[in-house]
Amino acid sequence: MNKASELDNKTIEELKQLVLGLQQKYNLLLEQFKLAQQKRFSHSSEKRPEQEELFDEADAPTPNPDRAQKEETLTVPEHQRKRKGQPKRTTIPDYLERERIEYDIPDEDKVCACGCHKHCMGEEISEQLEVIPPQFKVLQHVRPKYACRACETQGGTGEGVSIASMPKLFLPKSMAGPSLVAYTITNKYIDHLPLYRQEAIWNRHGFRLPRNTLCGWVMSAYEQVEPLLSLLKEDILKSGYVQADETPVQVMKEANQRNQKKSYMWLFRGDAPPDYIAILYEYQETREGKHAKSFLENFEGYLQTDGYKGYDWVNNKSAITHLGCMAHARRPFAKLMKLAKSSGQSDVVVKLVGKLYAIEDKAREEKLSHQARFELRQEKSAPILSEIKIWLDKMLPSSPPKSVFGKGVRYMLDRWQELNNFLKDGRLEVDNNLIENNIRPFAVGRRNWLFKGSPRGAKAGACFYSLIETCKANNIDPFKYLNYLFTTIPQCKTTKDYRQLLPYNVALENLG
């Protein structure tokens, strides 16, 4: 009897464990299903505000297209609701040239009924913005020839024909001037216009510029400005604080690889002396950590990355302090928070991390110095991080390892020191978002051109994305910079000459 009872109890316990395991599997599958639905159908919480109407602008109901929407409150007996009212007209910049067109009344209307002449007491001005399509001009490089007429007729032994030497041109055997090449590159890498679309645009303007011609300009330009990349890298490695990330790209005609295989663009962002920013894209065939290790071989200082294990080698290098990304640590809990219909455990860590970001916002708004931000973090952020650690330790035993919640808890605990290292210096960021913002233009362009035609083309793209994103980070107009760069670089002879052409070393007055 006792033996049978023991067997029954054992069977019941086994069934309980089986049911518990099945329940956990069900919960995990349900969570994955809901997250997949959310990813496919819901709005992204990290989407930039200006992206909201990026693809539906043609269908958006706008009563007046040059006016921004504003809201007014309409009171109704039963409730209040907000509706779109007449917006404020967009201001036309003062620096634009004005063409004045006057509409005056006839001379007889300038005489009053009483017989007196009316005086002009003011005027009403209505402005409309007009556009002038691209204007073109041809630069003729003319060199007069001089010869001695006496020597010509009498057979003298003069100096022969004299002619001025031709200055070095950017693309000497091409019809394209520096501004046209700069225009082509900014269209491709900023406005995301593939070269075949640019070819069609030029056809509408009456110019036959085949895609392979445009491609030749881009590649020739890359060959001339390539020396600037090693100088950008040098400044990044000297900065003492580097952010790194990577993003996939498909490249055709890679050696020993299928065209469907993903390659990668690696990004590195660092401070450039004295108060500027340097950004470098580097094309590599794989995502192996050896590429970042090679780039940062001689680097000493702080390195900030996401949770990709390809950077874990940093933890064995004493000269580098590894920083984590709080935005990545927060992300799984934010996803679960959106799924939940009521407050749950994920809310706790999301709200605590939100307090950390509120402190960062305060430091940014008040434009605190690095030292002041360091002191503010020690006072306000450190206690919040301690509170998060206590909560993580409490949640660990009860969180299934394979669930999103469990993975989020373990991610933060495994990288806890990295997530706390931003407290060590006031110039460090709490997350890796700055460099992720530099990835976005590349990702948008990738949706247009889909793939790079060759490894050489990928390297050229990396070069121009580096220069353009460095310009944008330092509030420099990329087109003006590239135009100046292409005009000036043929005269460069030394490393010092090339260094003076880095975006943050060019005097703004030279850009026009």
Instruction: Select, from the ranges 39-43, 78-82, 113-117, 379-383, the one with the highest average predicted confidence (pLDDT).
Output: 379-383
| Phi and psi angles of residue 89, each rounded to the nearest 5 degrees, phi first | -70, 140
Say what the pLDDT of residue 270 is: 94
Q: Is the pLDDT of residue 317 over 80?
A: yes
Residue written as token pair 């975006």: 503
Which of these, 427, 36, 35, lies nearest to 270 by C-alpha position? Answer: 427
The Cα 48–Cα 363 span in angstroms is 22
Which is more confident, 71 or 503? 503
Among the listed ranges 264-278, 394-408, 439-453, which one has the minimum average pLDDT value? 439-453
Q: DSSP states of 208-225 as a string?
A: ---HHHHHHHHHHHHHHH
pLDDT, mean of residues 1-17: 68
Maximum CA extent, the chain: 139
**Tell me: the pLDDT tens digits for 179-214?**
999 999 999 999 989 899 999 999 998 889 999 999
Which is more confident, 380 or 335? 380
Which of these, 483, 451, 462, lies nearest to 222 by C-alpha position? Answer: 462
Residues in the chain: 512
The Cα 160–Cα 151 span in angstroms is 8
Q: By the 8 A CB rule, do 169 and 490 touch?
A: yes
pLDDT, mean of residues 393-398: 91
The enclosing H or E element of 199 equals helix 195-204
Q: Is the pLDDT of residue 319 over 50?
A: yes
Q: Is the pLDDT of residue 152 over 70?
A: no
Q: Is the pLDDT of residue 501 over 70?
A: yes
Q: Is the pLDDT of residue 24 over 90?
A: no
Q: Is 221 left (phi over 0), alpha (psi -120 to 50) or beta?
A: alpha
Which of these, 395, 415, 416, lies nearest to 406 by C-alpha position? Answer: 395
Among the listed ranges 44-58, 127-141, 403-417, which one has the minimum average pLDDT value? 44-58
Which is more confident, 62 or 235? 235
- Give the three-class secondary structure for 132: coil
Report which residue type is found at 194. P
Domain ranges of the chain: 326-431
Say what the pLDDT of residue 399 is: 86
Say what the pLDDT of residue 132 is: 82
Instruction: Indicate if the alpha-carbon torsion angle 98, 101, 107, 113 is positive or negative.
Output: negative
Instruction: Indicate if the alpha-carbon torsion angle 371, 373, 378, 379 is positive or negative.
Output: positive
Average pLDDT, the chain: 83
Q: Is the pLDDT of residue 413 over 70?
A: yes
Say what the pLDDT of residue 395 is: 92
Q: By the 8 A CB rule, do 458 and 170 touch?
A: no
* Cα angle for residues 244, 249, 254 (degrees, 5° grid): 115
Which two structure tokens, joined as six digits, stand for 350?
A: 């999301």
Which of these, 429, 399, 425, lies nearest to 412 by C-alpha position? Answer: 399
pLDDT, mean of residues 441-459: 74
The enclosing H or E element of 35 equals helix 2-41
The enclosing H or E element of 203 equals helix 195-204
- Give the three-class secondary structure for 283: strand
Say what the pLDDT of residue 56 is: 36
* Cα angle for residues 33, 35, 38 (degrees, 5° grid): 110
Q: How confident is the model at residue 19 (pLDDT cuts 50, 70, 90)?
A: confident
CA dihedral 355, 356, 360, 366 (to 10 degrees): 40
Q: Is the pLDDT of residue 417 over 90?
A: yes
Q: By the 8 A CB rule, do 485 and 501 touch?
A: yes
For residue 407, CA distances in Å to 233, 400, 403 come to 35, 8, 6
Say what the pLDDT of residue 372 is: 96
The Cα 354–Cα 419 span in angstroms is 15
* Three-class DSSP labels, 333-362: HHHHHHHCCCCCHHHHHHHHHHHHHHHHHH
**Tell me: the pLDDT tens digits for 265-316?**
999 999 887 789 999 999 998 899 999 999 999 899 999 999 888 999 998 8
Report which residue type is found at 339. L
The enclosing H or E element of 276 equals strand 276-284
Q: Is the pLDDT of residue 411 over 60?
A: yes
Q: By the 8 A CB rule, do 279 and 299 touch?
A: no
Q: Is the pLDDT of residue 409 over 70?
A: yes
Say what the pLDDT of residue 402 is: 83
**Tell me: the pLDDT tens digits for 229-242?**
999 999 999 999 99
